[in-house]
C-alpha cells in the first residue's frame, strides 16, 4: 500500500461514495482538463470505467491512473498549442502535459495507440459522476502483462 498516492485514492473513493444507478452501457459525455484551465477536453464513456494503476517506471513516478477510450470518443476542445510531450525508451507512449501547470490530463498510451488514456482525477467535479474500478497493471513486466490485460479492448471502436 505504500506506493499509493493517497490524494488520488481519496478522489477515487470520494467519487465512489456518490454511486448512482445506471446502465454501464450508456455513454456519458464528461468534460475535463488540466489545473490552469488551458487544456480542456471532452470524453464520451461509460459512467463506470476501469482505471489502470500501472507500476512501470513512469506511471509509478507520476501516479498515472488512467482509463482508456477509443480515439473517436475523445476530443481536445482547447489548448493544443499549450501541450508538450515527453517520450522515452521506445517513444511509443506520448506523455502529453500542459506547458503552464504541468498537469497531464490525458495522453497516448503505449498499450493503446488507437486510443487515449484519460485521467479520471482530471474530470470536472461539477459534471456527471464518473465511477472508477481500479485494476492493477504490472507494467514492470509490460510484454507479459499486455497479452493478459483487457486494456487492449478499451480502445476498440464502440
Ligand atoms: Zn494547465
The span from the CA of 82 to the CA of 96, in Å, is 10
- From the CA of 5, how far away is ligand 1's center (Å)? 21
Which residues are in the CB-under-5-Å shell of ion ligand 1? 34, 36, 38, 98, 100-101
Cell 464513456 found at: 45
| Domains of the chain by start residue, with CATH | 28-153 (2.170.150.70)
pTM reported for the whole predicted model: 0.81
78/47 Cα distance (integer angstroms): 23
Q: Determine which helix (DSSP H) or strand (DSSP E) holds 17, and give its type and residue range.
A: helix 6-17
State the pLDDT confidence band at 9, using cuts at 50, 70 and 90: low
Q: What is the per-residue pLDDT across 135-150, written as a single tens digit (0 to 9) for each?
A: 998 889 988 989 888 8
CA of 124 to the centre of ligand 1 (A): 14
What pLDDT, in 10s, does the model give residues 78-129?
A: 999 999 999 999 898 899 999 999 999 999 998 899 999 999 999 999 999 9
pLDDT in tens, 34-70: 999 999 999 999 999 999 999 999 999 999 999 999 9
Report the alpha-carbon distance of residue 74 to residue 38 in Å, rounded. Answer: 17
C-alpha cell of 92? Answer: 511509443
Locate all alpha helices (DSSP H) within 53-117, ordered by sequence: 57-62
Amino acid at each position: 500500500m505504500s506506493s499509493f498516492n493517497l490524494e488520488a485514492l481519496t478522489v477515487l473513493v470520494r467519487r465512489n461514495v456518490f454511486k448512482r444507478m445506471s446502465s454501464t452501457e450508456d455513454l456519458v459525455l464528461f468534460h475535463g482538463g488540466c489545473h490552469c484551465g488551458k487544456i480542456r477536453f471532452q470524453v464520451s464513456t461509460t459512467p463506470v470505467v476501469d482505471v489502470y494503476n500501472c507500476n512501470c517506471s513512469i506511471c509509478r513516478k507520476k501516479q498515472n491512473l488512467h482509463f482508456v477510450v477509443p480515439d473517436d470518443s475523445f476530443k481536445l476542445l482547447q489548448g493544443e498549442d499549450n501541450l508538450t510531450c515527453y517520450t522515452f525508451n521506445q517513444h511509443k507512449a506520448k506523455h502529453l502535459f500542459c506547458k503552464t501547470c504541468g498537469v497531464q490530463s490525458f495522453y497516448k498510451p503505449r498499450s493503446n495507440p488507437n486510443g487515449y488514456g484519460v485521467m479520471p482525477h482530471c474530470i470536472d467535479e461539477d459534471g456527471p459522476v464518473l465511477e472508477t474500478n481500479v485494476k492493477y497493471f504490472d507494467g514492470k513486466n509490460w510484454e507479459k502483462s499486455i497479452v493478459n490485460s483487457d486494456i487492449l479492448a478499451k480502445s476498440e471502436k464502440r
